[in-house]
A and B are shown apart, each in its own frame.
Chain A
Amino acid sequence: MAHKAHCSIRNSKDVQNILTLVFALSILGLIFDSIIFSVIALFSVYIALVKFEWAAVLGDQFVTIVSRIGGYIYTTILVVVFYIFITPYVLVVRMFKKREIHTDTCFENAQVHVFDKEYFKKPW
């Protein structure tokens, strides 16, 4: 029991640290307009909370339940972040951003023209 309580406290601190880090990353992501950065940061919460920390603390029999709850929490966080934090940001950005008007073409130069070997190795 004592061990579990200790782990919970430690876990709780870790969670706080992780959340702080993630919050900072999300803000940075927003500032630099990097969606991927924000999403990766958010996803790391899920990994940290559910897959490693909680699972280790609570034992195998709880993993399934915790994973499920974690999934819901994660989705909720994602939704909350997107629709409470990001929406106002997007709306503000939109106010200052001029709508792109294509006058004579919607074609743009291809993002990648020539394909070197490194190109094939990345999933992005």
Chain B
Amino acid sequence: MFRKCSSARIRQRVFQKAMVNKSRTITLGISAFYHDSAAALIIDGNIICAAQEERFTRIKHDPAFPENAVRFCLEYTSITACDVTNVVFYEKPLLKFERIIETFLSVAPKGLKAFLVGVPSWTKEKMFPRKMLSRHLNALGFDLKEKTELLFIDHHLSHAASAFYPSPFEEAAIVTVDGVGEKATASIGHGKGARIEMIKEMRFPNSIGLLYSAFTYYLGFRVNSGEYKLMGLAPYGNPQSEQVEIYRKKITSDMIVIHQDGSVELNQEYFNYMSGLTMTSDKVWEQAFGFPRKKDEEEIMQHHCDLALAIQRVTNEIVTKMVAYALRITKSKNVCLAGGVALNCVSNSHMSKALGIDSVWIQPAAGDAGGALGAALAVQYMYNDVERRVQSTDSMQGSYLGPDFEQFDVDTVVRKYKAKKTSFDTDDALCREVARLIAEGNVVGWVQGRMEWGPRALGNRSILANPMDPSIQKRLNLKIKCREGFRPFAPAILAEEVSHYFETKHSSPYMLFVHDVAKSLRSELPEDYHTQSWQDRLYFERSSLPAVTHLDYSARLQTVHKETNSLFHKLITEFKNKTQCPVIVNTSFNVRGEPIVSTPDDAYRCFMTTDMDYVVIGRNIFFKKDQSVYTGKSAFAKD
């Protein structure tokens, strides 16, 4: 599947030479069997590669054992399974099972249905993690008896390690927040050098991740995948309305208690996740908020947006208090974050601003996929005693850790689909042409180099467009990505230009923070703006960058650095030369319900089933109008 190309052969020689000369510790991290399975490979503390299984199987959030991702890791580094020192699973399955059984016991006799759905899969296989993992690993050529050790670490330690070890900090407070791991739902730790010490943890059923997921569910989105939609919906809430404040007070007075240290206690009368198969007790919520749970395709109303804003404000408050507490008890000035809640870029920015701290580092794959990376790093540093070398930026290499491709793969696509392309000899010529196409209002798919690690496309598997074009958001959402019209788009900006266009001086290479568009670029809002319907506000031009300015002037920006992605940097520079604007719309290359594309073949198929104008794969440009009729189906699916 992963053909050994010229660069792979070079890597192979380098690795083989190194293996002969020096004894190395190679650790493979695995996350699987819940959602977002992934594998990551670390050699002597260096992050070599990491990928999510969904990108290979084309099943979004694929929970299966990541055999394709593991195979990729081995083939990318040209090592055999027997060379791997340890394989580490990202959680302790038996502790998780204990929590599940304890939960059923605590709610008995309720929960029979959930018990019948959940427990058989555990008793059949998951209760025997060693056997289950060995079966998969043996099939991939691992020798777990003689050569490779199978290890396990706690879910939240995996998250903590994924946040601290790649960070640019020698010492830092570590905060992890997600739905639930084994028993912990949030934790506070302290990292120093190569060691992590866990200090505090909040335990199930009190969970910030589950609280946010409950609102995700109540507002008609899917749990474990729709949380970022809820975050995108929040700015459509009316910030001046009393309704938002009423909702917020209802949440903080009846549904949860927020303590000063950011820990929360959830009133289980409102929630159903302990005993049922749903997140909320719908009748109780309907009484509390005055409207029923929104059905999947039901139209979004203003009260839905107001509730989204209310829970976003509550989340901001919790995260801020928790990080403040973590900094206080660790006496640290730096903080690292991971866990699904750390993907909430609005909360991250609120926390950073409220506490006045700049030294915040967040793992770009902060969700469960990142657990594979964290588990492998923890074993390298705390089990294999590898020396940690802190890098001045971070050690994620821009998060471009996935598979790459060669011209051969593009030629295969051309032959397979009888595609027509125009090729360029140099990156300069390519970037000039693509910048021109984008400046003229075309929507361009952009597939280059190694695929990104984490849920965001950072300029290697992206769809690009002109941010100054006011029609772009509608076109991208409805005709190309086939997704909800309210969803915002992110700007990618040259790192050196960020302070001129946004209210920040700091870099944000992984789209994990939001910042307001600079005041000088904003348009004046009509007086009744906040009382207009959200649909009316949606297409109002709020700035000279309308395609990337959200309703509250915020933007989830990506700063593009020459050091980590020189080609993307060059492209935006060319775009700036043509338009005076160093900003480009950057959204992930996929349609709704489909994982981000990985191979040139995935990209071409996605291109042909959408309204995209061009796709650029390597140094080749494919123009839609030149292509033969494509008979394949769109990968669009309800997510």
Which residues of A does B touch, CB under 8 Å? 35-36, 39, 43, 46, 71, 74-75, 78-79, 82-83, 86-87, 90-91, 102, 104-115, 117, 119-124
Contact = CB atoms under 8 A, between A and B. Distances in A.
B116 interface: yes
Contact of B383 (A83, A107, A111, A120): A120
Interface size range of chain B in the complex: 35 or more
Given A107-B202, A123-B93, A123-B94, 20 more contacts: A36-B97, A43-B123, A46-B123, A71-B120, A79-B112, A87-B109, A90-B105, A90-B106, A91-B108, A105-B260, A106-B263, A107-B325, A108-B203, A110-B198, A110-B200, A111-B183, A115-B153, A120-B379, A120-B382, A123-B152
Contacts of A109: 199-201
20 contacts: A35-B98, A35-B101, A35-B102, A35-B105, A36-B94, A46-B123, A74-B123, A79-B115, A90-B106, A102-B263, A106-B265, A107-B261, A107-B325, A110-B187, A110-B189, A111-B183, A111-B201, A113-B198, A115-B382, A123-B94
B105 A79 contact: no
B5 interface: no
B38 interface: no
B119 to A, nearest CB: 7
Contact of A120 (B127, B153, B199): B153
Nearest to B122: A39
Contacts of A107: 188, 200-202, 261, 263, 325
Residue with the highest number of chain B CB atoms closer than 10 Å, among A79, A104, A107:
A107
Given A87-B108, A106-B259, A75 B120 contact: yes
Nearest to A124: B94
A43 B116 contact: no
B94 A120 contact: no
A124 B151 CA distance: 11
Contacts of A83: 108-109, 112
Nearest to B130: A123
A100 to B, nearest CB: 10
B521 interface: no
A90 B107 CA distance: 9
A113 B104 contact: no
Contact of B129 (A82, A112, A123): A123
Interface in B34-92: 88-89, 92
A43 B383 contact: no
B200 A86 contact: no
Contact of B127 (A43, A74, A105, A119): A43
Contacts, number: 120
Contacts of A105: 259-261, 263
B474 to A, nearest CB: 44
Contacts of A122: 92, 152
B157 interface: yes
Interface of B: 88-89, 92-95, 97-98, 101-102, 104-106, 108-109, 112, 115-116, 119-120, 123-124, 127, 129-130, 149, 151-154, 157, 183-184, 187-189, 196-203, 206, 257, 259-261, 263-265, 325, 378-379, 382-383
A87 B106 CA distance: 9
A39 B97 CA distance: 10
B562 to A, nearest CB: 38
A113 B130 contact: no
Contacts of B201: 107-111
Residue with the highest number of chain B CB atoms closer than 10 Å, among A78, A82, A86:
A82
Contacts of B149: 121
A104 B129 contact: no
B113 to A, nearest CB: 11
A106 B105 contact: no
A64 B514 CA distance: 56
A82 B153 contact: no
A102 B260 CA distance: 12
Nearest to B101: A35
Contact of A90 (B108, B129, B153, B196): B108
B200 A108 contact: yes
Nearest to B100: A35
Contacts of B97: 36, 39
B157 A106 contact: no
Contacts of B153: 115, 119-120
B95 A124 contact: yes
Contacts of B112: 79, 83
Q: Which 8 A-B pairs have the closest CB atoms?
A: A106-B263, A124-B94, A110-B198, A107-B200, A120-B151, A123-B152, A123-B129, A87-B108
A112 B154 contact: yes
